[in-house]
Structure 1
Amino acid sequence: MAVIKVIIASVTALGNDEVYYWTYALNLQWNYFDHPPFVAWLIRTTTANLSIHSELAVRLGAIISSTIGTVIVFKTGKLLRNNRVGWFAALLYSSSFYCSIIAGTFILPDSPQMVFWLWSIFLLLKIIRSTGQGLPTLSLWCWFGLAAGLCMMCKIHGVYLWVGMILFVLFSDRKLLVQKGIYISALISLMIVSPLIIWNIRHHFITYTYHSNRVSLFHAGINPLAFAREIGGQLFYNNPIIFFLAWVAVLSFINTKNLFLKSEIKLLLFCSLPLIVTLIFLSIFRDTLPHWSGPAYSCLIFLSALKLESFNDKKIKTIIGASILFFLFVVSAGLFTINFYKGTFSTQTGALSLGAGDPTLDLYGWKETGKIIDSIYRLDKPLEKNKKVHTIVITKWFPAAHLDFYVCRKTGLHTYGLGEIFDLHQYYWYNPSKPKLAVGDNAYYIIPSNLYDENSINFIKSQFQSCSLPIILPIFRNGAVCKNILLFKLNGYKKNNASVITANK
């Protein structure tokens, strides 16, 4: 699986989120606009302190994390019953699109999160097993506090580990409340996440203001499309075969008579169902992202592996074989579509909107974009009227991060954000560390046609004395144009506080 992931990581351009998280690593902090800092630390490490500039180096942390996660999954299955269950769990984990591709190949906060989430589940199961056998648990509680704290430093969803554990204690095993380890563990987790809390206090909890706006129920009506997208996403991201097997296992084990595993099964349910139910409920009213439920489904993989143990060998081979074959088919089809599909399957054919709605274009054509923009910049640079061009102005965090990774590193240009903080995200705080866009400066505005937005263009025009018609630069895929890169030359910046004013508001 690691070999497959290395190939995927090497032949596919970075996605919108991935390059954005790479910008985190350029300026290490204790928290960022969208997420805690661990993904930035991981990228900084795998790129050898940013000295290696390649897609594989940026994604290597995800591949390593997924490999470690697979080992933990096997050990957890072995702890629950035997090596055979551990092997089943590892195979199911490896054929989950979320576990192996979304979080296991592409670099996201979910990538390191899964290591600490799975480690935490393993430790909680050992705590339950040790308590039942009368063995000491203090060291296990301390390790759990560390693992859960680091999980929250990857992504705030890690708090559901504590939610699940507390629900288990309250509804299944209150004897754990008398163990001092649980309180020491909570203190350790709190100490680890304290920098994150302090950062948010200083920045008026901007992260949670943003996310609450995304999922707030106030004034929100029923949103059947968002609900369908959440359910469909959970089904597909976790592999349909694994998804249905997981829910068959849940229904089977809810009323289990197996006293030996009853506590462990309850723990797995408490650590998975609250997150899944929360997201499904929110999706009734607001847009959610289906991959948010990925960690919860990783807990259900263990129930699936236990359920497989009760099947005959022929049925087991059929289920696992179908799961792996479906995984390989979708991954192969995806790679082919991204890299070799002729042109675009978007219905938009206009020069300014070509490729709109084609998600594969986020992962294609960026190296070519860097080369083309570099050629134009080299031609412009000797001209007297363009001597001041050192900036690419941006109004949104995407495709700003793509421009930073593929264009700015090649040309020496830098991005500078203008506009609202909720469009710029972390880019608002990047501005002070960059050369200021001074009154009278010239600049570029670069946008791929699949992301073209008339409102953004009008806003940019209002900030400069003049804006040229776009230079249309075609990007080809398998011999046909799949999108255009639109380059606007901007002359005479009018003011230097547009982004600051909107952000302070």
Structure 2
Amino acid sequence: MKEVPVKLWLFVMAMTVIKLIIASTTSLGNDEVYYWTYALNLQWNYFDHPPFVAWLIRITTADLYIHNELAVRIGAIVSSAIGTIIVYKIGKLLLNARVGWFAVLLYSSSFYCSIIAGTFILPDSPQMFFWLWSIFLLLKIARSIHKGLPSLSLWCWFGVAAGLCMMCKIHGIYLWAGIIIFALFSNRRLLAQKGMYVSMLISLIIISPFLIWNIKHHFITYTYHSNRVSLFHAGINPLAFAREISGQIFYNNPVIFFLSWMAVFSFIKAKKPLLKREIQLLLCCALPLISTLIFLSIFRDTLPHWSGPAYSCLIFLSALKLESFTPLRAKVILNVSLLFYLFVAGTGLIVINFYPGTFSPQKEPMHLGKGDPTLDLYGWKETGRMVDSVYRMDKSSEKNKTAKTIVITNWFPAAHLDFYVCNRTGLQTYGLGEIFDLHQYYWSNQYKQKLTIGDNAYYIVPSNLYDENSINFIKSQFKNCEPPIIVPIFRNDVVCKNILLFKLNGYKQ
């Protein structure tokens, strides 16, 4: 670490402070709190993703002993800090320390790299560390082969890094796709490298547990994801395409997005580009994933953050492009990128915590706040306290003494209820419904006390997520459903959403 400059350490520390503030002042989001439930029962795979995020949360919460948002998210923040150091090393390896510094500033001003994967806890969080480590190793391998130096140990480490990347999220397979494309079209010498095949074997061994899990569970993970992106019977979906493109622009920071594609096209058009071999390798790791998602979005809904790892490769091309600019022009671009990041992050934090009420047009009590995404990150601690007070009152009443379960029909807000309500009250969630709605909750029922005929229960949902079909289904499972208790949640002294608590009596089956 001696070659890492002091200003980089100071910058990483400053960015870490910003992330710690965000992580400790907002409630967990729908996805984050759902991945926390993974850590409750460690497995080799889960309905949606491989297991690494669950292992990470289990570690950072001290085996679930520490129960707060910061402990759940700290693994993402640490992974991002280490990843930032790797980004610098990659840029320096490509050309010089200045390119490394440019890459760090661009990487840190990407909303995907710094917030989505760098502050919030998602499978992407550890994935980005292993993805960047893999890219660093690939570049070193390419240079070693070009110079005729031994590369077997580098290949072995790459097998480990790529395997662990896939154990975070299946998108890591695009690392191997990139190598194969690069070998077939740019560097056939790779195909004669025994290290590449040893590396493949190492990756395969690492991911074998979750492959075996999927075989036993009829590849439910891929059945689910293929349903999300299946092209069968799907027509052209211009709205999904527009969301994908606009999402890629915003999530990666508009400055970085346009600079990246400017760099891509300029390097492609150049007759004798600098670092041709390294640029081709980065493009082979980036473009297949981006192209796949853009193509799928023409027909089906996709999530723009899926392309985040690919854009991290393009950040290095952007840094190389900045190296060709005048110092003043490069400084202006970097400053605009960072200032835009700070403005959006700061504004978002203020809106989430202090916007008076909700900016949703839905004001009717049963649907108040519907469509307001900031409410996923707000008001859950208050929800826990209020539900706890209702539950304590019910426990003192003989009539409701047997109610020990919150029935759920969807993985969200079930995970929020688990983290903020059940941990406080001692209640348990129990899933009723279809596997594609319940996700991992479909299997987590086996670890819980089952509902029996005649049991009483609660159904709890925030007004912004209230759905008539779900409550009608719940009513069909019980003899009686009382009108909901409506508990208001305030933001800056104005009601932003209601918590709807239904008391259910007499489970039927």
- TM-score normalised per structure 2: 0.97
**Gapped runs of 5+ residues in structure 1?**
496-505
SS in structure 2 of the partner of residue 342 of structure 1: coil
Deviations 1:339-388 (A, max 9, x none): 00000000011110000000000000000000000000000001111111
Cα displacement (A) at 1:224? 0.4
1:367-382 counterparts in 2 under 5 A? 367-382=381-396
Is the 1:142–1:185 Cα contact (8 Å) retained in structure 2? yes
Deviations 1:292-318 (A, max 9, x none): 000000000000000000011110110
Cα displacement (A) at 1:255? 3.4
**315, 318, 321: which is aligned to 1:304?**
318
The reply on whether 1:111 has 2:125 as its aligned counterpart is yes
The reply on whether 1:451 has 2:465 as its aligned counterpart is yes
Is the 1:66–1:99 Cα contact (8 Å) retained in structure 2? yes
SS in structure 1 of the partner of residue 269 of structure 2: coil
**82, 87, 93: which is aligned to 2:107?**
93
- Give the total of aligned pairs: 495
The aligned counterpart of 2:247 is 233
The aligned counterpart of 2:49 is 35
**444, 449, 461: which is aligned to 2:475?**
461
The aligned counterpart of 1:144 is 158
**336, 339, 347: which is aligned to 2:353?**
339
The aligned counterpart of 2:413 is 399
Letter in 2 for 1:249: A
In structure 1, how many angstroms separate the alpha carbons of the residues matched to 2:338 and 2:100?
Answer: 16
The aligned counterpart of 1:499 is none
SS in structure 2 of the partner of residue 210 of structure 1: helix
Cα displacement (A) at 1:25? 0.4
Letter in 1 for 2:365: A
Letter in 1 for 2:28: L
In structure 2, how many angstroms separate the alpha carbons of the residues matched to 1:109 and 1:97?
Answer: 16
SS in structure 2 of the partner of residue 490 of structure 1: strand
Is the 2:267–2:273 Cα contact (8 Å) retained in structure 1? no
The reply on whether 1:176 has 2:176 as its aligned counterpart is no
The reply on whether 1:202 has 2:207 as its aligned counterpart is no
Deviations 1:442-481 (A, max 9, x none): 0000000000000000000000000000000000000100
In structure 1, how many angstroms separate the alpha carbons of the residues matched to 2:423 and 2:25?
Answer: 19
Deviations 1:206-228 (A, max 9, x none): 00000000000000000000000
SS in structure 1 of the partner of residue 43 of structure 2: coil
The aligned counterpart of 1:317 is 331
The aligned counterpart of 2:3 is none
Deviations 1:154-199 (A, max 9, x none): 0000000000010000000001111110000000000000001000
Letter in 1 for 2:30: N
**484, 487, 492: which is aligned to 2:506?**
492
**5, 8, 16: which is aligned to 1:2?**
16
In structure 1, how many angstroms separate the alpha carbons of the residues matched to 2:70 and 2:44?
Answer: 25
In structure 1, how many angstroms separate the alpha carbons of the residues matched to 2:431 and 2:120?
Answer: 26
Is the 1:256–1:262 Cα contact (8 Å) retained in structure 2? no
Cα displacement (A) at 1:126? 0.4
In structure 1, how many angstroms separate the alpha carbons of the residues matched to 2:458 and 2:274?
Answer: 66
The aligned counterpart of 1:390 is 404
The aligned counterpart of 1:288 is 302
SS in structure 1 of the partner of residue 275 of structure 2: helix
The aligned counterpart of 2:10 is none
SS in structure 2 of the partner of residue 484 of structure 1: strand
The aligned counterpart of 2:292 is 278
The aligned counterpart of 1:45 is 59
The aligned counterpart of 2:143 is 129
Is the 1:391–1:443 Cα contact (8 Å) retained in structure 2? yes
In structure 2, how many angstroms separate the alpha carbons of the residues matched to 1:106 and 1:139?
Answer: 33
**232, 237, 241: which is aligned to 1:223?**
237
The aligned counterpart of 1:500 is none
The reply on whether 1:476 has 2:485 as its aligned counterpart is no
Cα displacement (A) at 1:257? 4.1
SS in structure 2 of the partner of residue 345 of structure 1: coil
Is the 1:161–1:271 Cα contact (8 Å) retained in structure 2? yes
**327, 330, 355: which is aligned to 2:369?**
355
Cα displacement (A) at 1:260? 5.4
Q: CA RMSD in A?
A: 0.6
**19, 42, 59: which is aligned to 2:33?**
19
In structure 1, how many angstroms separate the alpha carbons of the residues matched to 2:491 and 2:57?
Answer: 29
In structure 1, how many angstroms separate the alpha carbons of the residues matched to 2:346 and 2:142?
Answer: 41
SS in structure 2 of the partner of residue 447 of structure 1: strand
Letter in 2 for 1:238: N
In structure 1, how many angstroms separate the alpha carbons of the residues matched to 2:50 and 2:272?
Answer: 40
In structure 2, how many angstroms separate the alpha carbons of the residues matched to 1:492 and 1:384?
Answer: 15
In structure 2, how many angstroms separate the alpha carbons of the residues matched to 1:457 and 1:373?
Answer: 18
Structure 1 consecutive aligned stretches of length 4 or more whose deviation exceeds 2 Å: 255-260
In structure 2, how many angstroms separate the alpha carbons of the residues matched to 1:133 and 1:421?
Answer: 53
SS in structure 1 of the partner of residue 490 of structure 2: strand
**409, 412, 418: which is aligned to 2:423?**
409
The aligned counterpart of 2:86 is 72
Cα displacement (A) at 1:32? 0.1
Deviations 1:19-66 (A, max 9, x none): 000000000000000000000000000001100000000000000010
In structure 2, how many angstroms separate the alpha carbons of the residues matched to 1:256 and 1:7?
Answer: 44
Letter in 2 for 1:358: D
Deviations 1:241-269 (A, max 9, x none): 00000000000111334465101000000
SS in structure 2 of the partner of residue 271 of structure 1: helix
In structure 2, how many angstroms separate the alpha carbons of the residues matched to 1:317 and 1:104?
Answer: 24
